[in-house]
Amino acid sequence: MENGKKGIVMSGIRSTGFLHLGNYFGAIRNYVRMQEEYTCYFMVADLHSLTTHPDTKELKPNVHRVLAENIACGLDPEKVALYCQSHVYETAELYLLLNMLAYKGELEKTTTFKDKVRQHPENVNAGLLTYPVLQAADILLHRASLVPVGKDQEQHLEMSRNFANRFNHRYREVFPEPFAFNFGEALIKVPSLDGTGKMSKSENQYATIFLSDSDDLIRKKIMKAKTDAGPSAPNMPMPDYIENIFLLMKLVSGADTIQKFEEDYNKAAIRYGDMKKQLAEDMIRFVAPIREKAESIRQDQAYLKRIMEMGAEKARISAAATMEKVREAIGLKYY
């Protein structure tokens, strides 16, 4: 392990859509901490996107955007391997070999597969069915034991453990078991602005703050956030949609600002218009530098090419060493 770091971390980053505040506080902020202490492989999952996005016109700008936004948030391509899945050809080889250990019945039972079949009955391809196998290949390729994932991915991670154990049992011990990892802290769920759950790329775009939103758009979105007439008496319990505004404020505002509005609420003297204006300005101060840095990275095609080449080279060194062990264990070495 390099430089006495604690362990190997692997995480996939979706190559579609725009990063939002929930992605930052739920995942990327942790990645930035991990890069200091662990050997990290962060992969843009472009092959995964082919299972549901057969139209690939947007693939290149999407990949460039995702790389730029992650770097702008603090991921350092010098400290981690930041690479595209399709640039590491060993992924496809391990995916093929793991498919021999994956059973149709267990793949059909995965929640995400059942959801996708319901949503797109006309596009149930083999890639969709074997999605968890490709995900396992991504992780096992680096013999990673630490995988930062949200609750919704824990079933896939359990399948990766199953495939690792099945391989080790059938052939010989090559893979460590991968486990979910988030610094032992509760995962932060960033609430949406319409009070209906967490921020999401796909639900209500107006209830989500994207890291690429303009200052004016951020102001507009926050001013539309759900509020009410305010508490009618001191120290009333707070409705969840008001609590959400305070939660957002805790992410980007100073302690004194939060304290002022909490006191106003408890005195039944809060003015939600003022609170939202303050939140909007604090949010802009947080998002604008990330947006501007990401935009300048996106314009620099030569830099992006260098980052992708450097990331792929680091990932391939790790992948080649694993595949050497895999071929040997299976018996695919004939001379």
Give the pLDDT of residue 203.
66
* Active-site option among 116, 221, 276, 314: 116
Amino acid at residue number 256: D
* Active-site option among 5, 79, 189, 201: 201
pLDDT digits (tens, 9 = 90+) for 141-159: 999 999 987 666 778 899 9
Residue 16 in this model has a pLDDT that exceeds 90: no
Rounded CA gap, 179 and 181, in Å? Answer: 6
Verify whether residue 201 is a known catalytic residue.
Answer: yes
pLDDT digits (tens, 9 = 90+) for 160-203: 999 999 999 999 999 999 998 876 666 677 889 987 888 887 66
Rounded CA gap, 335 and 329, in Å? Answer: 14
Verify whether residue 79 is a known catalytic residue.
Answer: no
pLDDT digits (tens, 9 = 90+) for 255-269: 999 999 999 999 999
Residue 206 in this model has a pLDDT that exceeds 90: no
Verify whether residue 114 is a known catalytic residue.
Answer: no
CA 321 from chain centre, in angstroms, equals 26
H or E stretch covering 166: helix 154-170
% of the chain at pLDDT higher than 70? 96
pLDDT digits (tens, 9 = 90+) for 91-123: 999 999 999 999 999 999 988 888 888 888 888
Indicate the range of 178-192, 233-247, 274-288 predicted with least confidence.
178-192
**Measured at the alpha carbon of residue 223, what is the angle toward residues 221 and 228, in degrees to the nearest 5?**
125
Rounded CA gap, 204 and 231, in Å? Answer: 27
More reliable by pLDDT, 70 or 155? 70
The helix/strand count (H/E) of the chain reads as: 15, 5
Give the pLDDT of residue 41.
97
